[in-house]
């Protein structure tokens, strides 16, 4: 079983974000970067599938600056076999540009499965996975929470509003992972040492022209300070009145 997992390096979801001087990107000084949390589920699924199939290869692919190598290596430490960094000065905001570069890399790879996280935690696009599927003309199931594979076929479950959707598809296919698909493993310390010796191929990303750009970024407004309307049972009528008239939640 040959599986590709496409991963993105994103700011730690718990870092405090500051906007950079250009007003359209984040200031990266002191920001800790991690693998996109949804991609971790994709990685874990790929590793489990490979091991269950009793062999094959898990190739991890990232697009972006050099620092992406560290993210790739963290996945090699979890057990992936080799990495590819499609080098670009920065990760374009244009999902289609990213998808085209990834598709060009994946096209002749002979992969049975191409896995993504359902979205990137930094841009919320949800776009790159399905776009790659489209470009490769492969079936695509997004936000899967369960997966069964047998023969040349797969069955995936998606949690949709109020229920579960079961989707059958033919391999090769592109899948994007939802939280809860599995429990991602910790890289064992031996894995971290072994990752040093695994190959990472670095080549320029075939990025076309970016046709969508971010023009500005802003932080959410500060929350207004709370107000104490009184104490004890006496305060209840006033509280109810304000919830009705001001907050309009009742």
Partner 1 sequence: MAPRFEGVDFYDVGSLLSEEERAVRDTVRQWVDDRLLPVINQHYLEGRFPLQLVPQMAELGLFGANLPEEYGCAGLNNVAYGLIMQELERGDSGVRSFASVQGALVMYPIHAFGSEEQRKTWLPKMASGEVIGCFGLTEPDFGSNPGGMITTAREAAGGWVLNGAKMWITNGSTAKVAIIWAKTGALDDASSIRGFIVPTDTPGFSAKDQKGKLSLRASDTSELVLEDVKLGKDALLPGSKGLKSPLSCLTQARYGIAWGAVGAAMGCYDEALRYAKQRVMFGKPIAGFQLQQQRLVEMLSEITKAQLLVLQLGRLKDQGKASPQQVSLAKRNNVDMACDIAREARRLLGANGILAEYSAMRHLANLESVYTYEGTHDMHTLILGEEITGIGAFE
Closer residue to partner 1, CB minimum distance, 90 or 196? 196
- The single residue among 29, 32, 160, 228 that binds partner 1, judged by CB under 8 A, is 32
Q: Which is nearer to partner 1, 46 or 72 (CB)?
A: 72
Query: Does 199 sit near partner 1 (CB under 8 A)?
Result: no
- Give the DSSP per-residue string, 172-212: SEEEEEPTTSS-PPPPPHHHHHHHTTS-EEEEE--------
- Least distance from partner 1 to the Cβ atom of residue 36, Å: 16
DSSP per-residue codes, 136-173: HT--EEEEEEEEEEETTEEEEEEEETTEEEEEEEESSE
Regarding 26 and contact with partner 1 (CB under 8 A), the answer is no
Least Cβ distance, residue 17 to partner 1 (angstroms):
14
Is 198 among the residues that bind partner 1 (CB under 8 A)?
no
Torsion of CA 94, 99, 104, 109, to 10 degrees: 160
Measure the CA–CA gap between 10 and 71, rounded to whole angstroms: 9
Gap between the Cα atoms of 71 and 66, Å rounded:
10
Question: By three-state DSSP, how is residue 17 classified?
Answer: coil
Residues 132-191 that bind partner 1 (CB under 8 A): 186-190
Is residue 74 a contact point for partner 1 (CB under 8 A)? yes
Count of residues of this chain found to bind partner 1 when the rule CB under 8 A is applied: 16
Q: Applying CB under 8 A, which part among 69-77, 118-126, 149-157, 228-236 lies near partner 1?
A: 69-77
Question: Which residues bind to partner 1, rule: CB under 8 A?
Answer: 12, 14, 32, 70, 73-74, 77, 186-190, 192-193, 195-196
């Amino acid at each position: 079983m040959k599986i590709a997992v496409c991963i993105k390096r994103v700011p730690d979801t718990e870092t405090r974000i500051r906007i950079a001087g250009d007003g359209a990107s984040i200031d990266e000084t002191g920001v800790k970067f991690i693998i996109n949390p949804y991609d971790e589920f994709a990685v874990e699924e790929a590793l489990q599938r490979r091991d269950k199939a009793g062999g094959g290869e898990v190739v991890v692919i990232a697009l972006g600056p050099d620092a992406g190598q560290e993210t790739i290596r963290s996945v090699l430490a979890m057990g992936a076999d080799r990495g590819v960094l499609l080098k670009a000065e920065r990760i374009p905001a244009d999902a289609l540009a990213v998808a085209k570069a990834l598709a060009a890399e994946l096209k002749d790879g002979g992969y049975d499965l191409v896995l993504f996280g359902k979205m990137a935690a930094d841009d919320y696009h949800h776009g790159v996975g399905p776009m790659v599927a489209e470009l490769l003309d492969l079936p695509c199931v997004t936000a899967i929470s369960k997966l069964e594979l047998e023969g040349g076929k797969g069955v995936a479950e998606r949690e949709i509003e109020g229920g579960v959707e079961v989707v059958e598809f033919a391999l090769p296919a592109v899948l994007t992972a939802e939280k809860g698909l599995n429990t991602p493993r910790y890289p064992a310390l031996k894995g971290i040492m072994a990752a040093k010796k695994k190959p990472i191929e670095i080549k320029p990303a075939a990025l076309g022209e970016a046709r969508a750009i971010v023009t500005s970024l802003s932080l959410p407004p500060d929350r207004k300070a709370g107000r104490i309307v009184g104490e004890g049972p006496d305060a209840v009528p006033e509280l109810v009145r304000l919830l009705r008239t001001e907050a309009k939640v009742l």
